[in-house]
Amino acid sequence: MVDTIRQAAQKDREGWDALFDAYCRFGGEEQTAEMRNRVWGWINDPNAQTRCFVVEGDNQQLIGFVHFRSYERPMPATVGAYIDDMFVSPSARGQGIVDLMIQTVGDFAKEQGWDVVRWMTSETNYRARAVYDRHAVKSNWVTYQLKS
């Protein structure tokens, strides 16, 4: 059962660190403590773009997080929200936590006057896509990434 979803606070560092490490391993991304320190710094810097909501379970341990940021949209001359990362501890899945995170980011975006919330996922992330399909419309846009 979910008790709370809220902005991350300093007291969340240890729980967030464990979840973010698990998320990076799940995604096949190599992540060092130094890299997590940098991201945690962004989350706690009011001048940085990255924001983070965390989800606490009944025992007040963190069971999920969502990282997001604003971005400027030149064609409509508006600001939108982009969700970079969403993760729920495997032991807490199936409880509607992703639904809660998406709704919370959506509500926050509305409060800020942002006109859209976007995110992407792997084509083969079927379980997550089933949840996303309840909240959003899959776009027709194809994502490219510049070769390094």
Residue 148, pLDDT score: 86
Q: Which two tokens stand for residue 68?
A: 């997001």
Identify whether the C-beta of residue 36 lies closer than 8 Å to the C-beta of residue 25: no
Give burial (CB, 10 Å; 0-12/13-18/19+) of 62. Answer: buried
Residue 59, pLDDT score: 87
Would strands 78-88 and 117-119 be described as parallel, antiparallel, or unpaired? Answer: parallel
pTM: 0.94
How confident is the prediction along the chain (148 residues), in pLDDT tens digits per residue?
566 999 999 999 999 999 999 999 998 999 999 999 999 999 999 999 999 999 999 888 999 999 999 999 999 999 999 999 999 999 999 999 999 999 999 999 999 999 999 999 999 999 999 999 999 999 999 889 899 8
Q: Which residue from 48, 60, 56 is spatially nearest to 4, judged by alpha carbons?
A: 56
CATH topology of domain 2-135: Aminopeptidase (3.40.630)
CA 29 to CA 35: how far, in whole Å?
Answer: 11
Would strands 62-73 and 51-57 be described as parallel, antiparallel, or unpaired? Answer: antiparallel
DSSP structure class, residue 140: S
Task: Enumerate long-range contacts of 104-111, CB under 8 Å, 24 or more apart.
Answer: 104/5, 104/53, 104/66, 105/53, 105/66, 105/68, 105/81, 106/135, 108/51, 108/53, 108/81, 109/80, 109/81
